[in-house]
Chain A
Amino acid sequence: MADRLIVLFADELMVDADTLTEDSTPDNTENWDSLAAMRLVAAIEEEFDVILSTAEIMKMRSIAIVKEVLQGKGVDV
């Protein structure tokens, strides 16, 4: 269900879910700046009930990597 993650990103970034893919990064995605990154971290933690370490946060430079990190923590995403 990569959808759940894409929907979360679409919500926080205020963009259409259709414009996002697993390859979306801050460089190719509208509104994904450092402030959005802060909001995304909070939203991901709330939605998936996880706590991310700074190492994990720093790694998450694309939606694909976010998915990887979450799966690594046992989240079904």
Chain B
Amino acid sequence: MQVDEIRALKSSWRAYLRQRQKGDPDLAIGMAGTFTIDPLIPFLGANLLASGYGAPRIVNADYNQVVQTCLNPSKVFGGQTDIILILWRLEDIASIRSPELLYEASQMLLGAVEKLSASFSGSIIMAIPPRPQAALKVCGIGQLEGYVRVWHEVCLQTMESFSRIENVYLIDLGSIFDETDAPLDERKRLLYRQPYSESFFSNCAAMVSRIARARSFEAKKCLVVDCDNTLWGGIIGEDGVHGVSLGNDFPGRVYKEVQSQIKELKNTGVFIALNTKNNPDDVWEMFDKHDAMVLSRDDISSAQINWAPKSENIKRIASELNIGVDSLVFLDDNPFEIDEVKKHVSEVTVLQVPEVIEDYPMLIKSNEFLFDRIHITEDDIQRVDRMKGERARQENLQSMTQEDFLSNLDLKVYVYPPEKQDLVRVTQLINKTNQFNCTTRRYTSEQVMDFTESDEYKIFCMSVADKFGEYGLVGIAILHKTDAKSWTFDTFLMSCRVLGRGVETAFLSAISKSLEKQGAERIFGEYIPTPKNTLVENLYERHGFACEEAMSEGTSFYWSTTLPLSVACPEYVMLTQDRFLKR
């Protein structure tokens, strides 16, 4: 993928965003990924616009909350959603060094998606995860590592679970990876926790868009082809069977390859028709006698070999095959013929054989999507309903709820005052967290040090781990002493890595208990609204704080509660007393 194409796609999306009207989208896609998939958005948007959608809407769930999203999609995406896209990788959901945990985590994810497929009325595009990338390959040369076996099993499972479900479409991330020239970007992997290059996202978006498009646009049913300089090089009427180019040498090889592509299309059910200004005998002699012909007479459903205008032949073909002219694709090398057809039968899609002949096979390949078939019929719709009914009745369907998922995580939270080694991370979090941040106050590391040394301030840190891995230091609270018996939250923030797990409740619970032990009777919380932190506007309310109207004014809201806190640490979270040991 060229840089120019990438820039053009991004520009197209940005231009659309700038002039987007308010109003209902004509296609709403919700995405959830186990890695950062935001870079996909401009490419997906641009592709959808090019496919004919006038007002696409793309919403990205918060980072790494695929299971939570599947269990409660309307909460995550709001409004009407037509397609939910799920992109995931094994290495994101557990350590590949523990095959058992890897397997368990993938079962949870697959279970959540199965549940979604039974209850969601739109379409789901589900990824087959790519081969995990191991940091090192050691020892087991010649033997398969445990995680490779798990990956194979999980891929098979994904295919088996979902390829028979009507509203789920699979997207093979591994094959997109293979088809991309430079799919990885090590800097992005280390900087942003997403390893893929812009090219990879662009190719991925193209495939997603193709699936989305095939749901709404009727597949083309017939490819109408010229013969001379289209199916072979040269002019059969002049050069004869032995003078045209078709065979294993260049350029005959190009035409042979294109014939193979056309044969492939025929095999998938597309009609092939001829539309050529020739004597029928000459053309059929080519089909019957030339050794390198891939297409045969039997492959041709309608042959218009005459000297009439090609647009008339087009209409005849449509009528013979009993299909609309708008489901025809016409391929010719001559721009004059193409113009003539387009002028008289504008609904036909036209393709011109490129002048640079080596680009010819790519022309067909890049237009294969025209024939994509995801045909929704009344029967299909009823079939979906029947399947949903059956699946709901199945007794062994795992009916996982949000609570089941959370308790299965074995969440551990450790709350502690920061130590010297934490200073850098604490300062970093304070300065870069925007969403789960009640006051968005920024401090330098010197100021943070001052807080730790002052009697008027307390800093609490939170580290989180679950069964599948450690998240590290992800929460910070800074409180200052308001009076002898009360403290106020100057800062309360959390990394987006641990959203949707209820650990903020555990954090608040631990902090309030600690303050209570030291004689505090009340805590105040402050919320300063910004465009990015609406996520926490009701954080204090959710935890039993009452609004302090008198103290609140335009840019700042205060909440308070007496101690003990009325909301307890969730049952499924364990508050530990010591720092997690490295696994």
Measured CB to CB, the residues of A under 8 A from B are 11-12, 14, 27, 30, 33-35, 38-39, 42-43, 46-47, 49, 52-54, 57-58
Contacts of B42 in A (CB 8 A): 39
Least Cβ–Cβ distance between B228 and chain A, in angstroms = 42
A34 vs B17: C-alpha distance when bound (angstroms): 20
A43 vs B188: C-alpha distance when bound (angstroms): 14
- Are A46 and B442 closer than 8 Å at their CB atoms? no
- Are A46 and B6 closer than 8 Å at their CB atoms? yes
In chain B, positions 432-468 with a C-beta closer than 8 Å to chain A are: 432, 434, 442
Q: SS class of chain A's interface: helix, strand, loop or mixed?
A: helix
- Are A33 and B434 closer than 8 Å at their CB atoms? yes
Contacts of B386 in A (CB 8 A): none
- Are B432 and A34 closer than 8 Å at their CB atoms? yes
Which of A12, A33, A43, A57 is in CB contact (< 8 Å) with B191? A57
Q: Which residue of A lies closest to B187 (CB)?
A: A54
In chain B, positions 317-376 with a C-beta closer than 8 Å to chain A are: none
Are A27 and B10 CB-contacts (below 8 A) given A46-B3, A53-B187? no
A70 vs B3: C-alpha distance when bound (angstroms): 18
- The reply to whether the CB of B198 lies closer than 8 angstroms to some CB of chain A is yes
- The reply to whether the CB of B425 lies closer than 8 angstroms to some CB of chain A is no
Are A42 and B187 CB-contacts (below 8 A) given A14-B17, A14-B18? no
**Closest 9 interchain pairs by CB?**
A54-B187, A46-B3, A35-B38, A46-B7, A33-B434, A38-B192, A42-B198, A54-B191, A11-B14
Contacts of A12 in B (CB 8 A): 14
Least Cβ–Cβ distance between A33 and chain B, in angstroms = 5
- Are B3 and A49 closer than 8 Å at their CB atoms? yes
In chain B, positions 1-24 with a C-beta closer than 8 Å to chain A are: 3, 6-7, 10-11, 14, 17-18
- Are B38 and A38 closer than 8 Å at their CB atoms? yes
- The reply to whether the CB of B139 lies closer than 8 angstroms to some CB of chain A is no
Q: Which residue of B lies closest to A39 (CB)?
A: B39
Pairs A–B under 8 Å by Cβ, sample size 13: A11-B11, A11-B14, A14-B14, A14-B17, A33-B434, A34-B432, A34-B434, A38-B38, A38-B39, A39-B42, A42-B39, A47-B7, A58-B191
Contacts of B10 in A (CB 8 A): 43
Contacts of B198 in A (CB 8 A): 42, 46
- The reply to whether the CB of B532 lies closer than 8 angstroms to some CB of chain A is yes
Q: Which residue of B lies closest to A35 (CB)?
A: B38
- Are A33 and B532 closer than 8 Å at their CB atoms? yes
A61 vs B354: C-alpha distance when bound (angstroms): 47
A49 vs B11: C-alpha distance when bound (angstroms): 17
- The reply to whether the CB of B190 lies closer than 8 angstroms to some CB of chain A is yes
Contacts of A49 in B (CB 8 A): 3
Least Cβ–Cβ distance between B36 and chain A, in angstroms = 8
Known: A11-B14, A54-B190. 14 other contacts (CB 8 A): A14-B17, A30-B531, A33-B434, A33-B532, A34-B192, A35-B38, A38-B188, A38-B191, A42-B198, A47-B7, A49-B3, A54-B187, A54-B191, A57-B187
